[in-house]
Structure 1
Amino acid sequence: MALAPFAADPALTRGRRYALASASNRGQRDEYQRDRDRIVHSIAFRRLRHKTQVFVAPDGDHFRVRLTHSLEVAQIGRTIARALNLNEDLTEALCLAHDIGHPPFGHAGEDALKEAMAGAGGFDHNAHTLRVLTRLESPYSHHPGLNLSWEMVEGLAKHNGPVAHAPWALAEIDADWPLDLAGQPSLEAQVAALADDIAYDNHDIDDGIRAGLLSLDEARTVPLVAEGWEAARARWPDCSDSALRSELIRNQIGRMVADLLAESRRRIAAANPRSIADVHQAATPLIAFSPEMAAAERTLKRFMYARLYHHPQQMAVAEQARVIVAGLAHAYLSDPATLPPEWAARLPAEEPARTRHIGDFIAGMTDRYAVARYREVVGPVDMPEGA
């Protein structure tokens, strides 16, 4: 498949921060295929298996975690990229990597870590993704990080749009290797951002109902869901509610993807970009939902926050998660000798590097590892550790 002229072309990459050694024995891969493979083979990616998506340390094998969510985002992203003649490999790599910077316990853990690190610049999971991939995960002998392509790093930095005020972790990376933070991201990065929204908007409904925190009747109060349900019921009138729920989720994803493709094609035709440089200089994103779908999606999000993410049962677990992360930060900052030897040995002497180093350690934890370390260095806590 020929790439569109405005797609990211691996033959025109801006390169990597560090020159590659000879890799003649590593297979015939282009730059973005290599990026994808480096993500998949990373320890940080494997840790997503035990990091919260919606439910903390889920005991049920059928619930999504950060790893399975990232795989689902990648599948949606590749479908969109192929339809628009964009680079599928870069899109997939961005989708797979987008959540690597999340600390344990999702947004509850991030809130606690941000507060604990307030004096050292705070914490931002998007910026931490870049810190992990360019600084902390270092499987190579001759440079830090995974040495990803410029387009990969830039896409992760800006997949939610241009960055006006970079958090400290991103600012450090940008100072070392400028990422044109004020410009629009590549279309591949824009696709990854909306593939993420499509995945969790719909799959979180599925998990919420499966967990018993949402009911179908509640979900059908959302116009977008109600329309999808009626269409599915009309097509399969004899289907059970449980089977029809799966059809609803699939059809709703398809409907959102179809809308995104139609609106994005309209915007691309109107802007008429001739190169990826034109994409970076565009006044607005070129990958988007229609105004009607964007409004419907915002309504769905409001519902999910009110009925699932802020459900009393979820809030109680989130409070315990905040206690664990805050307790770990206090313990390690008060007595760094309690850090594992390899982390204690590298502890900087001065602030803010000292607090940031401890933040790096905590942010890399899985849910169950955080629970175990809390019990070790702080005390008992009532929190599931999962499988």
Structure 2
Amino acid sequence: MRAPFAADPFSHGGREFGGNAASGAAPNPESRGPRTDFQRDRDRIIHSMSFRRLKSKTQVFISPEGDHYRTRLTHSIEVAQIGRVLARALGLDEDLTEALCLAHDLGHPPFGHAGESALSEAMARHGGFCHNAQALRTVMRLESPYPEHDGLNLTWDLLEGLAKHNGPVAAPNWALAELDEAFPLDLGTWPSIEAQIAAVSDDIAYDNHDIDDGLRAGFLDLDDLLQLDFLADQWRAVERRFPNAPRDRQLRELIRDQIGLMVNDVLQHTREMTKGMGSVAEVRDAGRQLAGFSPEMREHERRLKAFMYDRLYYHPEQVSAAERARDVVARLFAAYSQDAGLMPPEWRAKLPEQDPQRSRVIADFIAGMSDRFAMQACETIYGERPRGLINV
């Protein structure tokens, strides 16, 4: 049953180009065809080049040789799967939730957070760089398959959710502020429950699937993981149920159980928090997060994140690879800044003469690269292939 506070694809905030954002009216249903506007949003994201490039962008491991490690693309699909389960159980709009989950990482540059760190440093004098704002810039300005306008022309509800799925934005960076001026996204309020669910689905996916990849790569050890009492309880339950199963199957069962535990916790807590909510407007005016973990699970998840940063994300081999990745991005930015002729013609044509706009276009170009394309570009410019970036 549809919840009263679910986003409505037939009465949304319109589109920047050709939509009636002022009245909130959606286009004429007779001209829509079989899809709702939120389904159209999802399909536009899936068919975008930026989405396809996620297949070669870092999730945890930089340009892994193995085919079994997650990339930004497989991670986004896993987030969407969790998001749809939660949305269906809560009576939300599944299509908006799925679209938000699929789009949430479109702004990530090559090499994950290492690449973002390098771009942030390079852009420090020109307004900075943030992958969340870059995701919005990607779908509103850079990914432009239509002859009539820039961007994918997604619904206000989708753009609002991307802009503030982690909560209200008090101090937007230049990219977000510029887009908000063109198409106001009400940055000071909480977003829809669908956007809040997309955010917690991201947490559930990477918390658990990064454990899976870390164990597979040998960077994590089960005995160390079991120092976390809530994981140890799950592991003992798995061993009791499947005492004779191979260890690798027990580990995968542990991951499934942990995801199920988190999903059920989110469902129970969100139902409690949304009691009495009668509309999307009430959600936005609530002044607090309504969808997410219970306080107890939030503490478990905080401890798990701290463990993962200590043992996996800041593992010496990961840190070493990240330093080399940052160097690749920094060298690319320096090269393109000094010689625009190194960029493809279609990007050279976009380059303004002066900063900060000039540096922002260069950052857009680099942010859109896959890991492998960035390494190839660095090799082409500097005559040597970056070493040590294939680490598993």
Identify the residue that residue 173 of structure 2 maps to in structure 1.
Answer: 167
Moved more, 345-354 or 37-46: 345-354
Identify the residue that residue 154 of structure 2 maps to in structure 1.
Answer: 148
Identify the residue that residue 231 of structure 1 maps to in structure 2.
Answer: 237
Aligned residues of 1:157 and 1:170 also touching (Cα < 8 A): yes
Report how far residue 37 of structure 1 moved.
Answer: 0.3
* Superposition TM-score, scaled by structure 1 size: 0.96
Give deviations 1:287-333, integer Å, cap 9, x for gaps.
02111100000000000000000000101100000000000011111
Report how far residue 60 of structure 1 moved.
Answer: 0.4
* Partner Cα distance (1:302, 1:102) in 2: 22
Aligned residues of 2:324 and 2:389 also touching (Cα < 8 A): no
Alignment of 1:173-184 (within 5 A): 173-184=179-190
* Partner Cα distance (1:384, 1:259) in 2: 38
Taking a change above 3 Å as real, the CA distance of residues 116 and 126 of structure 1, as seen in their structure-2 partners, is: same
Q: Which amino acid aligns with 1:356?
A: R
Report how far residue 379 of structure 1 moved.
Answer: 3.5
Aligned residues of 2:56 and 2:371 also touching (Cα < 8 A): yes
Report how far residue 384 of structure 1 moved.
Answer: 4.6
2:383 is the alignment partner of 1:382: no
* Partner Cα distance (2:89, 2:127) in 1: 41
Specify which of 309, 330, 337 is matched with residue 313 of structure 2.
Answer: 309
Aligned residues of 1:163 and 1:181 also touching (Cα < 8 A): yes
Specify which of 133, 136, 144 is matched with residue 139 of structure 2.
Answer: 133
Identify the residue that residue 10 of structure 1 maps to in structure 2.
Answer: 9
Specify which of 207, 214, 220 is matched with residue 214 of structure 1.
Answer: 220
Gaps of 5+ in 2: 20-26
Alignment of 1:229-268 (within 5 A): 229-268=235-274
Gaps of 5+ in 1: none
Report how far residue 378 of structure 1 moved.
Answer: 2.4
Aligned residues of 2:325 and 2:389 also touching (Cα < 8 A): no
Aligned residues of 1:224 and 1:300 also touching (Cα < 8 A): no
Identify the residue that residue 337 of structure 2 maps to in structure 1.
Answer: 333
Specify which of 190, 196, 199 is matched with residue 193 of structure 1.
Answer: 199
Alignment of 1:350-365 (within 5 A): 350-365=354-369
Aligned partner of residue 10 in structure 1, secondary structure: coil
Give deviations 1:230-276, integer Å, cap 9, x for gaps.
1111111222211100100000000000011111111111xx21110
Moved more, 329-338 or 60-69: 329-338
Moved more, 138-147 or 238-247: 238-247
* Partner Cα distance (1:361, 1:135) in 2: 13
Specify which of 283, 307, 315 is matched with residue 287 of structure 2.
Answer: 283
Report how far residue 27 of structure 1 moved.
Answer: 4.0
2:376 is the alignment partner of 1:372: yes
Q: Which amino acid aligns with 1:136?
A: L
* Partner Cα distance (2:46, 2:147) in 1: 19
Identify the residue that residue 83 of structure 2 maps to in structure 1.
Answer: 77
Aligned residues of 1:94 and 1:192 also touching (Cα < 8 A): yes
* Partner Cα distance (2:78, 2:90) in 1: 19
Q: How many residues align?
A: 384
Q: Which amino acid aligns with 2:15?
A: R
Identify the residue that residue 34 of structure 1 maps to in structure 2.
Answer: 40
* Partner Cα distance (1:33, 1:209) in 2: 36
Aligned residues of 1:3 and 1:9 also touching (Cα < 8 A): no
* Superposition TM-score, scaled by structure 2 size: 0.95
* Partner Cα distance (1:385, 1:314) in 2: 10
Aligned residues of 1:5 and 1:274 also touching (Cα < 8 A): yes
Report how far residue 112 of structure 1 moved.
Answer: 0.3
Aligned residues of 2:321 and 2:389 also touching (Cα < 8 A): no
Report how far residue 383 of structure 1 moved.
Answer: 4.1
* Partner Cα distance (1:284, 1:364) in 2: 34
Specify which of 104, 109, 120 is matched with residue 115 of structure 2.
Answer: 109
Aligned partner of residue 354 in structure 1, secondary structure: helix
